[in-house]
Structure 1
């Protein structure tokens, strides 16, 4: 039995990180050489040597948080702008570190030169690694198992991915186990896209594991509840304790303290941007500067969310409540830019100070739609076990106007995986999506609505 390659495992990632650190360090040496005509003054360089351990630790932390070492969902341009973003933050943080560390002989010109040098060298290196990754790990063939609608949705989603890392080659709609056995050598990954009979599901898992294939599962409720379980030992038996969709009171208190502190600091920092935006909104269209709308937060409680107005003042006068969509005709010309840059969300920092919202959490929805969504999906109210957020897991990894079920899965996954470090990662990656046009777009609702009448692409073998 041939064992499948594990791809870029942790050992390879560690080597990549070490090489990143080496290139980053060499970029500083090169910057010193360029700045001082190949004759580095010792009293300047010794400041860098003293600060370098802290600089390198922050460098590794930021790159991990921005996802630079996760490659399956990337394309070449991602590495370019992610490298520049991280190095920009590094420049600011290095200036702060050298000030508080009293390394005053660390030249500010070196920070500027190293930003340019490190951005170029790291980008070249990461593009080489990415090319090797694609060549070594290759494209993975995916076999999708489930009912017709869920399989079509899975195919549509995978086909819209940034790269060709995963390609659906087979779809099995019935007689799952028998058809899976017959085609076991023709794919790398089995994706169970819908709920299956427990007996059949267990046998599929066993078959996949014994044949060293990868297994993908949908984020259905029964799968989500198994995330981050607590393992208990009672006498001679190990028991799995399922975690509810909540965070502990202690975590909630720490999260609230951090939310209040960060929101207050951010309001002070972005106040000039908010003032300019307020003036632009007022002079470019009729209506109030701020837009208030009733939303739902923790405990099903209603509150007024604050935003800079991006639509005409009478946007829903005739249509009534309507969900945001791609290319929404109600959005003003200025509103398009405010939305794409997420500037319209800045007034929500006031909501965070008041305790209505958190910096990170499920995006708050309107009561009109919450009632509809709960009627369709009985688990929807679980997202209200924590405060609503300005940004969230769904906003970073999903699309701007994805359908509510997809967003709900992200929200429940966020609650199950919650940690302070996870919040920091989402906050940092929110910056990334400003440069990613896909994140600002809505899902193609017409394609989703037509799944029932659509057919599978011709290059996919459908087995019934």
Structure 2
């Protein structure tokens, strides 16, 4: 059985090769421009190499190039390389202006950047294919009697579609002697299994070098990130409230004001273009405001570009948007896919009603429903709502509310300024990944796998 978690040593090796390509690219192009015996001196080469390492590490880390190396799909890998290289060139140019005695010529940097990007793309795609050939398709068995859960898991694996997993069977009762269990690589545990059954399955997997997939419950997330302490000779974990410290709030507010102001200036041409285009395309104003609940569940008005027909909820009342929602206009589909409908919320950020990063704000009508179904939903109001967040970069518009809440609670529990930076930059990947914005479905694959499992699920 081959494990597929990302080995920390693999991250180091991959990072070393990425940065080596960047450094060698600069050295080769410097020699091509100035010659091997140039009087520009070796010192400049060393300085440029050091700047290249710093810029490369920052850019590649911002786009999460070294986590879940095994699990990323090919499209996201390609997007990540492209965006990382663009920001690498920007960061390198900025650093060279301030830190190098002689800034590198733009012609050298751009030409080297094209070759570096091509080589890193080739190396990363090759790595992606090698990993899949080495690990192959991993066989998954779902364990549990909750058939709606089984169907939901099946649908998630089909929409994943990365050539990594295949749900081969479903068993209602765990039997370690079963041939199905012995042949499986991964056991996916039903959330409703009792604690004793879960413990038995986990122990079996650990002893037999198999992987366990478990969806964490909300208590696990709320009690995460604890601090170990000792009371006499007893080890305990201490957990505080789901709340940012005063220092974290100050840093987050300073970050919001700085970045939101810059983004407003940069995006002003797009802002003006949409302000004119939307009313021309469909009846109604370009902007609309809607009441949402913010920090500590206090109401405020959110600003958005209109992506639906005017008065979309006049006859239905509040309704959550769904995949292929007929109320969404053709222009609305594009701006929703690219998250451009959220641009006016930069004004909410400047007013202090929102943050750039945080849980998406929701209407009181839906909040009351969600709290009845999921009492833990109230804890997401312990941080300011955001324009983007963990749930926005790792889920879809159509993702169930309980799964989005898991990301929101992780964010509230594990907040750092570096996490905000990573989420902000990875939102760029979401803006070009229209599949993620629309949600996913693959009916033909669903039918074929349902036939495979029919004898056990029906």
Q: Assess if the C-alpha contact under 8 Å between 1:297 and 1:357 holds in 2.
A: yes
Name the residue aligned to 1:149: 148
* Residue 256 (structure 2) pairs with residue 262 (structure 1): no
Following TM superposition, by how much is the alpha carbon of 1:409 offset from its aligned partner in structure 2, in angstroms? 1.8
Matches within 5 A, 1:347-366: 347-366=344-363
Alignment correspondent of 1:222: 219
Q: 2:128 aligns with which of 104, 127, 130?
A: 130
CA distance in structure 2 between the partners assigned to 1:111 and 1:33 by the alignment: 13
Cα distance, 1:227 vs structure 2? 2.4
- Give the distance between the partners of 1:40 and 1:123, measured in 2 at CA: 32
* Partner in structure 1 of residue 451 of structure 2: 458
In 2 relative to 1, CA 404–105 (structure 1 residues): closer, same or farther, beyond 3 Å? closer
State the partner residue of 1:97: 95
SS of 1:457's equivalent in the other structure is: helix
TM-score, L = length of structure 2: 0.91
CA distance in structure 1 between the aligned counterparts of 2:373 and 2:177, rounded to whole angstroms: 32
Are 1:291 and 2:284 an aligned pair?
no
Kindly report which structure 2 residues correspond to 1:397-416, keeping only aligned pairs within 5 A, or say none.
397-416=394-413
Distance change in 2, residues 1:8/1:318 (3 Å): closer
Go from structure 1 to structure 2 and tell me whether the alpha carbon gap of 1:72 and 1:8 turns closer, same or farther (over 3 Å shift): closer
Alignment of 1:76-87 (within 5 A): 76-87=74-85
CA–CA distance in structure 2, aligned partners of residues 291 and 157 of structure 1 = 34
**Partner residue in 2 for 1:375:** 372
Query: Deviation string for 1:99-146 (max 9, x for gaps)?
Result: 222544410111211221111111111111111111222222222223
C-alpha deviations, 1:30-82, integer Å up to 9, x for none? 3335545x567442875453143233123123223312233333333333222
Q: Is the 8 A contact 1:400 1:443 kept in 2?
A: no
Name the counterpart of 1:342: 339
Distance (Å, rounded) in 2 between the aligned partners of 1:371 and 1:415: 20
- TM-score w.r.t. structure 1 length? 0.90
1:169 — aligned with what? 168
> 1:169 touches 1:459 (CA, 8 Å); kept in 2?
yes
Q: Secondary structure at the match of 1:135?
A: helix
Q: In structure 1, the residue corresponding to 2:452 is in which secondary structure?
A: coil
Q: Is residue 145–residue 194 contact of structure 1 (8 Å, CA) maintained in 2?
A: no
Unaligned runs of 5+ in 2: none
Displacement of 1:152: 1.6
Question: What is the CA–CA distance in structure 2 between the aligned matches of 1:95 and 1:45, rounded to whole Å?
Answer: 19
2:310 and 2:102 map into 1 onto residues whose CA distance is 53
Question: What count of residue pairs does the alignment treat as equivalent?
Answer: 453
Structure 2 counterpart of 1:28, from 26, 29, 43: 26
- The 2-side partners of 1:212 and 1:284 are apart by 58
- Aligned equivalent of 1:240: 237
The question of 1:301 aligning with 2:298 is answered yes
Task: Name the stretch that deviates more: 225-234 or 117-126.
Answer: 225-234
Q: Deviations over 1:401-437 (max 9, x none)?
A: 3222221122122222322222211111111112212
Q: Distance in 2 between matches of 1:458 and 1:333?
A: 36
Distance in structure 2 (CA, Å) of the matches to 1:8 and 1:373: 35
What SS does the aligned partner of 2:456 have? strand
Q: Is the 8 A contact 2:225 2:413 kept in 1?
A: yes
